[in-house]
Amino acid sequence: MNNQNTIYGINGPVVTVKNAKSFSMMEMVYVGNEKLVGEVIEINDLVTTIQVYEETTGLKPGEPVYGTGSSMTITLGPGILNNIFDGIERPLKDIEKASGSFISRGANVDSLNKVRKWKVKITVKEGDFLSAGEIYAECPETEVIMHKCILSPNLSGKVVKVEKDGFYCIDDKIVTIEDDKGNFHELSLCHEWPIRMPRPVKKRLPATIPLITGQRVIDTLFPISKGGTAAIPGGFGTGKTMTQHQLAKWCDADIIVYVGCGERGNEMSQVLDEFSQLIDPKSGRPMTDRTVLIANTSNMPVAAREASIYTGITLAEYYRDMGYHVAIMADSTSRWAEALREISGRLEEMPAEEGFPAYLPSRLSEFYERAGRVESLNGKEGSVTIIGAVSPQGSDFSEPVTQNTKRFTRCFWALDKSLAYSRHYPAINWISSYSEYFIDLDGWYNENLGNLFIKYRKQISSILHEESQLMEIVKLVGADVLPDDQKLIIEIARVIRVGFLQQNAFHSEDTFVPLEKQKLMMKVILYLYKKSKQLISAEIPISRITEFGLFDKLVKIKYDIPNNKLEMFDDYISDIDDAFESILKA
């Protein structure tokens, strides 16, 4: 190791080294006597600039800087799930053991547990040829997830030695391969991968399968596909985090990667609490068995915040390569962008919009392009879905992070302050949000739910748009002056808004709603609309219809009909028929 390089200057998390020739760009380095982790971010012939992932208080010029020769990597192997890491894959529980309740610097802990033994089954035999990214062993990582050991995408070769099945630690060598140059490589249960480099895949697949979330406004109006990208922008208090939590809890991905990037510490402890108590209905096991958390709270070092996003997506890609569907929640990407700005400011780079560096859009697009449904190198199908929260400054969606994110994501779930103020949750605004996945997903919906679903959705969405135009008038002259057919639109739109779009995350039945129930809810609401419209065109006043209380009854349908008793919808239809018959008779 090179020991001649020493610190020259210090400014916040940025440290400079003079006259160093040996460093390469993005190389991981250890800074100072405490060996703080850092990364090389700028090199010129005089000065090498390093961003340090920990507090730099107390560093002195003249302290050594050690190169590692490789770029910032993380360890991929069993033990990632059911764990909580900081931004550079250090397990926070081990840091707690080492340094107590407060995080001290230079904590030197292993990324993955090195002594735990895994029950390994080796899936190759001597003489097999292993190409890059192929699976050579597997072990049950948790009760629900089978971990598959993947050959590093940089290696390939013939298997020359195989150990017996049995219990091994992650560093034990279980398979040896010989590559085409005649070099031998001993494979353990894990391998290293640089976080800023996307893991290679065989090919990308079209986005034709939806990620089912059980949230009505998303599944019905603004669906996202497996392997898709979505942005959730919203000012503070509009429920970004709550929406992310709901998606993490209920979406039908196999693995959840939750990145708390520059957010609140109490929120992370809530996620920990909730996910360990929440029993997954599919497996009967706690959510944590298929979750990995990355926590870089807002008071943890800013440079590690920048890395946490990459660490998260790399972990997600790793599980994707095993053939799982992974959803990664990044809360919030604005904090990441601000970390970029902060570092950029310390480097005295020329700022672009609002002080953000000019490379902000390219960084964002690099990140979101790592999503996708793919066929991995070993032929398995997997996907990474990215759902990124955006915290626009001053709730102004025209700020650079929101605008650039909008360009690179295909779903835009805009959270609305006025909806949040009236406690309409999820506060996804149905006018300004959109999803570009309709066309890709229509086939799936038609096949699995019949062709009515899409028809219903279109009707619902056109009623909502009509209502929003009518509301412009109502704001000026009041609802009383509208003709009855327009009053009906407003009335039925209220049912849709309160009864369908609003969803109560704390209600045991309403927190997750299967697609079939969503469809039937739309059906019964639209049936009431159709019938009422007929009466109104027969000149029966709307007050006669509303006095039956049918509209209010439909508002509560989400609570009144349990998810497993969908036949009850027929009663509602016949109730509507009865009521309308009695009106006509009178």
Partner 1 sequence: MIIDYIGVKEINGSLIVLDNVENVSYEEIVDIRLSNGGLRKGRVVQIEGKKAVIQVFEGTNGISLENTRTRLTARPMEMPLSPEILGRVFDGAGRPIDGLGEIFPDKRVDVNGTPINPVSRIYPQNYINTGISSIDTLMTLIRGQKLPIFSGSGMKHNELAVQIARQAKISGEEGSSFCIVFAAMGVKNDVAEYFRRSFDESGVLQRVVMFLNLSNDSIIERTLTPRCALTVAEYLAFELDMHVLVIMTDMTSYAEALREFSSSKGEIPGRKGYPGYLYSDLASLYERAGMIRGKKGSVTQLPILTMPNDDITHPVPDLTGYITEGQIVLDRELEGKGLYPPVSVLPSLSRLMKDGIGEGYTREDHSALANQLFASYAKVIDVRSLSSVIGEEELSSIDKKYMQFGKLFESKFLNQGFNENRSIEQSLDLGWKLLSTLPKEELDRVDDEILNKKYVENPTFEQKILFDEDNENENNEDIE
Using CB under 8 A as the binding rule, the residues of this chain from 69 to 98 that contact partner 1 are 84, 92-93, 95-96
Place of tokens 């508002």: 555
Q: What part of residues 350-369 is at the interface with partner 1 (CB under 8 A)?
A: 351, 354-355
Gap between the terminal Cα atoms of the chain: 95
Spatial distance between the Cα atoms of 541 and 290, rounded to a whole number of angstroms: 55
Output the six-digit token pair for 111: 């990324």
Q: How far does Cα 239 stand from its chain's mean position?
A: 15
Segment lying near partner 1 (by CB under 8 A), choices 64-72, 115-123, 263-271, 568-576 = 263-271
Could you say whether residue 57 binds partner 1 (CB under 8 A)? yes
- Which among 168-176, 436-444, 535-543, 551-559 is the span making contact with partner 1, rule CB under 8 A? 551-559
For partner 1, the closer of residues 106 and 198 by Cβ is 106
Q: Quick one: which segment of 55-63, 122-130, 200-208, 576-584 binds partner 1 (CB under 8 A)?
A: 55-63
| Complex with partner 1: residue 471 or 584, whichever CB lies closer | 471
Nearer to partner 1, 3 or 266 (CB): 266
Length of the chain: 586
In the set 9, 206, 379, 562, which binds partner 1 (CB under 8 A)?
9
Looking at beta carbons only, is 497 or 523 nearer to partner 1?
497
Q: Which of residues 430-469 bind partner 1 (CB under 8 A)?
A: none
Contact between 559 and partner 1 (CB under 8 A)?
yes
Q: Which is nearer to partner 1, 210 or 260 (CB)?
A: 260
* Rounded CA separation 203/225 (Å): 17
33 binds partner 1 (CB under 8 A): no
Stretch 390-419 residues interacting with partner 1 (CB under 8 A): 391, 393-396, 418
Q: Measured between alpha carbons, how far is 170 from 116 in angstroms, rounded to an integer?
A: 8
**DSSP states of 48-72 as a string?**
EEEEESS--TT--TT-BEEEEEEES
Work out which of 126, 179, 192, 552 binds partner 1, going by CB under 8 A.
552
In Å, how far are 75, 104, 172, 182 from 97, measured between CA atoms?
A: 21, 11, 25, 44
CB of 5 to partner 1, least distance (A): 14
Could you tell me which residues are beta bridge partners of residue 43?
48
CA distances from 444 to 438, 441, 531, 558 (A): 10, 5, 30, 25
Which is nearest to 302 in space by CA: 261, 258, 271, 257? Answer: 261
Nearer to partner 1, 185 or 497 (CB): 497
Which tokens go with 438? 């309709």
- 439, 476, 538, 586: residue in contact with partner 1 (rule CB under 8 A): 476
Name the minimum Å distance from CB 581 to partner 1: 23
Query: How many residues at the interface with partner 1, by CB under 8 A?
Result: 79
H/E stretch holding 96: helix 92-99
The footprint of partner 1 on residues 525-544 (CB under 8 A) is none
| Region of 111-119, 142-150, 265-273, 307-315 interacting with partner 1 (CB under 8 A) | 265-273
Q: How far, rounded to the nearest angstrom, does the alpha carbon of residue 261 sit from its chain's CA centroid?
A: 12
Tell the smallest beta-carbon distance from residue 205 to partner 1 (Å).
Answer: 36
Of residues 442, 434, 492, the one with CA closest to residue 463 = 492
Stretch that binds partner 1, among 202-210, 248-256, 428-436, 474-482 (CB under 8 A): 474-482
CA nearest to 178, candidates 143, 248, 128, 228: 128
What does the alpha-carbon distance between residue 38 and residue 29 come to, in Å, rounded to a whole number?
Answer: 5
Q: Of these, 141, 331, 338, 491, which contacts partner 1 (CB under 8 A)?
A: 338
**Window 271 to 300, contacts with partner 1 (CB under 8 A):** 272-273, 295, 297-300
187 in Cβ contact with 208 (< 8 Å): no
